[in-house]
Amino acid sequence: DLQQKIAALQAEVNDFQAKSAAELEQFRIRFLGTKGLVKELLASMKEVPAELKKEAGQMLNAFKQSVEARFESFAHLQQSGKKNDNNIDLSLPGTSIPLGTRHPLRMVENKIVSIFEKLGFSVATGPEIEDDWHNFTSLNMPENHTARDMQDTFYVATNPDWVLRTHTSSVQARMLEQSELPLRVVCPGRVYRNETISARAHCFFHQCEGLYIDKGVSFADLKQTLYHFVTEMFGPDTKVRFRPSYFPFTEPSAEMDISCTVCGGKGCSLCKHTGWVEILGCGMVHPNMLRNFGIDPEVYSGFAFGMGVERITQIRYQVNDLRLYSQNDVRFLRQFQAIE
Ligand code: PHE
């Protein structure tokens, strides 16, 4: 009885061909599963009379081995089958790669630059180690000019003519040397001043300065350009005001304030309860400076401006400590992840 049963099943096993992982799995369940035929046959051993037990055991064992061999011969299907079957949950989210974020100063610099680019300004950069001519002398600040004291300069020890640039006006000087007129350019970049590091001062910071030289450029052009910049950067309701000031390379010179974007003029710590915050220096390019580059101030005129990127960022995002920008603390930097 058992012998016949095994013989029939043996034929089935010998003929079995797995064409897919699913078929192989069906075969496994039918023969080798916990409720499979091999188990069932082994269980029926206890009904076999004692004198036949040995023979029946050998037969069953041989059958079991042939089933296993048959199964193994299709193991390649089983391998790939495992991957596609239930063993891997393809709906699980993948391992996430932590995304970096643009530095807030770079985001604001990009914004400043793009506003001026839309007005036809090009972008120029220059060296951070600068010579005296480009950082000072050509900008109407000859040697011993008291205005040099306004900027606490780092000198390069190996060469008395070299400084770490104190403003990106040096790049404007380089552009005036190289370019044809008219010239419209903005110069973003890092600058250095010998200041004690605190919440409100740092030994390096970032500027974006601009220069526009053409025939008939007026102070009205300066005001309208900077007003346009302010409304783009801080919103259409922002007001501006100009206060007379002094820079050696511009005459007249002004400082521009905007209405406080945090309190709207009601008074807060950003505007020190005045309702206004200073954002940049500007003026009409000094005739001496134009002459230094062989430009006739009777024919050409122009305006220039310079702003601190940290300052603009502080106003836009209420960052109240300059040191945060260079500490690389991800708890600070991550707060800008969702912006832009
Ligand atoms: N270079 C000036 C500064 O660093 C800013 C400025 C630029 C002012 C152009 C007027 C015109 O403070």
Note the pLDDT of residue 294: 96
Nearest to residue 317, comparing CAs of 227, 259, 233, 197? 233
Q: 84-107: per-residue pLDDT in tens?
A: 556 677 788 888 888 788 999 999
Amino acid at position 26, single letter: Q
Give the separation between CA 339 and CA 313, rounded to whole angstroms: 13
298 annotated to a ligand binding site: no
Contact 305, 226 (CB under 8 A): yes
Q: How confident is the model at residue 301 (pLDDT cuts 50, 70, 90)?
A: very high
- Asked if residue 140 has its Cβ within 6 Å of ligand 1, the reply is no
Q: Mutate which of 246, 247, 289 to test ligand 1's pocket (most atoms within 8 Å of Cβ)?
A: 247
Whose C-alpha lies nearest to ligand 1, atom 2? 306
Give the separation between CA 206 and CA 200, rounded to whole angstroms: 14
State yes or no: pLDDT of 293 exceeds 50. yes
* ipTM of the complex as predicted: 0.98
Give the distance (Å) from ligand 1 centre to CA of residue 248.
Answer: 9
Which tokens in the block code for residue 174?
């380089």
Note the pLDDT of residue 337: 84
Give the distance (Å) from ligand 1 centre to CA of residue 318.
Answer: 23
Percent of the chain with pLDDT over 90: 69
Mean pLDDT of all residues in the chain?
Answer: 91
Q: Mutate which of 136, 249, 253, 311 to test ligand 1's pocket (most atoms within 8 Å of Cβ)?
A: 249
